[in-house]
Structure 1
Amino acid sequence: MSRTSRLATAAAVGAAALLALTACTGGGESDSADDAAGVAPVTEGVLTIATGEPAYAPWVLNDDPESGEGFEAAVAYAVAEEMGYAAEDVVWVRTTFDSAIAPGPKDFDLNIQQFSATEDRAQAVDFSSPYYVTSQAVVAAGGTPAAEATSIADLKDAVLGVASGTTSLTVAEEVIAPDQDLQVFNSVDDAVAALQNGTIDALVTDLPGAFFVRDAQLDDGVIVGQLDSAEGGDEFAFVLPKGSSLTADVTAAVDALRENGTLADLETEWLADQGAPVLQ
């Protein structure tokens, strides 16, 4: 019960209850102050950042976030620096994806592993402003003509697959406008199977999914490139404990890095230049 509610109850039940309330007012005010301050950092003077176990490229290279190599590792250190933390004051821990967004106490100050900010998840955790908006990408099997494409024009004759009801379908139609009808599948997995058996030449999906298809589902997959459209992209944001005292500071840092071009530079360095160029 809040302090305001307690005062209202005390007024209703009479002077005796009011006196009892007065006797414990100090504790009530302290609780309110703690609530206003928010959930404190795990360790004073240290920024504890979590990522997945394991963490995959291109988000974290070689499962080593301490190196600062990989898009999300680099973003994390840039945010820490913007907040006034030296690199040596950053400590990394590991969590599963699901535990990070579940209700309850956390052993991290912020967590970065491709979390899309949603209203449902925001009931249990805090989100920063987004550090990345996903784009659509084209992934092909190695050794095919589609894998050798270097422009949108090179993909016009390709047989392209997409999952039904996705942004990928809309973007593929509008940006590539292939000469052949798009092959529409019930799911991304079905489209990947079609890519594996040669039914389609290439698959259009979101960039995080394209990296997964290339690295985990194809033996010789190639990301042909990204499509220049942010339509319907998911917004990736840092996750923080619900009510964290650091949420506003992390958001301010992310916003500053977006405005000064740092996030765009890191996206180019670790996503575009590491195998996902933007197709023109």
Structure 2
Amino acid sequence: MSRTVLRSALVASVAAVALLVSGCASGGAQPTASDAPAAEEGYITPGKLTIGTGEPAYEPYVFDNAPESGEGFESAVAYAVAEELGFAKEDVVWVRTTFESAIAPGPKDFDFNIQQYTITEDREKAVDFSSPYYEASQAIVAIKGGKADGVTDLAGAKELLLGAMAGSTSATTVDEAIEPNTPQLLFNSNEDARAALEAGQIDGLVLDLPTAYVAANFYIENAFLVGELPAAGVPDQWGLLLANESPLTERVTAAVDALREDGTLDALEEEWLSVLSAGATQLK
């Protein structure tokens, strides 16, 4: 199925929620002249909001690798934060980074970066995070006809050779929620783990649930979603990433908090992600 079909299915399924999002975006207090971001210090370019994301950026977070469209969960969240900060859409500038380069210590070429960054104490030693804009669960993707086909509970999952990206919440969930009989294989990236699954080197791949759904249905041939895993350890909460001790951290956090309180984040999650996670089997 094409990305266009996926987008059409999402839009058709959540038209009513889209209206709610529109209402959330326009119903709050509008920035006053004293709130004008151009007059504030800390932005990479005065009068502009520079946002980083991945290259490429994937559905359902960014559609067609075009964050400027506003289509996709994280693209929509970014523009909602921009509006809360007082920026018009045309004043948002997008830049691309790798996942690792953005999270490494040092200066940044963005005001904040959004690409599914889990907030952890270790990462907070090198960068800042906003308050969470999303909390993710984890799921297993596998190839039809393989060893994972027919697995319906955690006892079955224990018998699988699983893979995940090193240092990820997915990897932590495998160890703590599944406790597999065979140690999992860790990879430098989800792309490497996907290649291992397609090559038959692992029985299942663990990803966050929205990504797992899209991978199983649109990216990995002959794949299926085995099921959703229980939470393990600290919740997988995603935050907007900023430079260490950024002067914008408090402002960006306040914007995220406002969007959570007025229901905008819930509405965007419902619009872009609920269709993807509906009906996933809970592995217990």
**TM-score, normalization: structure 2?**
0.64
Corresponding position of 1:167? 173
Q: 80, 105, 112: which is aligned to 1:103?
A: 105
* Distance of aligned partners of 1:216 and 1:42 in 2 relative to their CA distance in 1, 3 Å threshold: same
Alpha-carbon distance in 1 for matches of 2:154, 2:44: 55
Task: Report the alpha carbon displacement of residue 166 of structure 1 after superposing the two structures with TM.
Answer: 3.5
Alpha-carbon distance in 2 for matches of 1:120, 1:191: 23
Task: Report the alpha carbon displacement of residue 228 of structure 1 after superposing the two structures with TM.
Answer: 6.4
Corresponding position of 1:31? none
Q: Does 1:49 align with 2:28?
A: no
Task: Report the alpha carbon displacement of residue 260 of structure 1 after superposing the two structures with TM.
Answer: 2.8
Task: Report the alpha carbon displacement of residue 79 of structure 1 after superposing the two structures with TM.
Answer: 1.2
Corresponding position of 1:155? 152
Amino acid at match of 1:261: G
Task: Report the alpha carbon displacement of residue 211 of structure 1 after superposing the two structures with TM.
Answer: 5.5
Alignment of 1:26-45 (within 5 A): 40-45=42-47
* Distance of aligned partners of 1:235 and 1:109 in 2 relative to their CA distance in 1, 3 Å threshold: same
Q: 86, 89, 96: which is aligned to 1:87?
A: 89
Is the Cα contact below 8 Å between 1:127 and 1:239 reproduced in 2? yes
Which sections of structure 2, spanning at least 5 residues, go unmatched? 1-39, 165-170
What CA deviation, in whole Å up to 9, does each residue of 1:103-161 have, x standing for no partner? 332221111112222333323322111112220224243578x88x9xxxx93599433
* Distance of aligned partners of 1:163 and 1:108 in 2 relative to their CA distance in 1, 3 Å threshold: closer
**Aligned residues with identical type, % of pairs:** 52
Alignment of 1:219-238 (within 5 A): 219-223=221-225, 226-227=228-229, 229=231, 232-238=234-240
What CA deviation, in whole Å up to 9, does each residue of 1:18-39 have, x standing for no partner? xxxxxxxxxxxxxxxxxxxx96
Match of 1:274, SS state, is helix
Corresponding position of 2:249? 247
Is the Cα contact below 8 Å between 1:185 and 1:191 reproduced in 2? no
Structure 1 window deviating more from structure 2 (260-269 vs 204-213): it is: 204-213
Match of 2:134, SS state, is strand
Amino acid at match of 1:187: L
Is the Cα contact below 8 Å between 2:210 and 2:277 reproduced in 1? no
Amino acid at match of 1:99: S
Match of 1:45, SS state, is coil
Which sections of structure 1, spanning at least 5 residues, go unmatched? 1-37, 174-181
* Distance of aligned partners of 1:159 and 1:124 in 2 relative to their CA distance in 1, 3 Å threshold: closer
* Distance of aligned partners of 1:52 and 1:276 in 2 relative to their CA distance in 1, 3 Å threshold: farther
Corresponding position of 2:266? 264
Structure of larger gyration radius: 1
Corresponding position of 1:58? 60
Structure 1 window deviating more from structure 2 (235-244 vs 60-69): it is: 235-244
* Distance of aligned partners of 1:102 and 1:163 in 2 relative to their CA distance in 1, 3 Å threshold: closer
Q: 106, 118, 121: which is aligned to 1:116?
A: 118
Match of 1:273, SS state, is helix
Amino acid at match of 2:45: T
Alpha-carbon distance in 2 for matches of 1:68, 1:194: 31
* Distance of aligned partners of 1:198 and 1:114 in 2 relative to their CA distance in 1, 3 Å threshold: closer
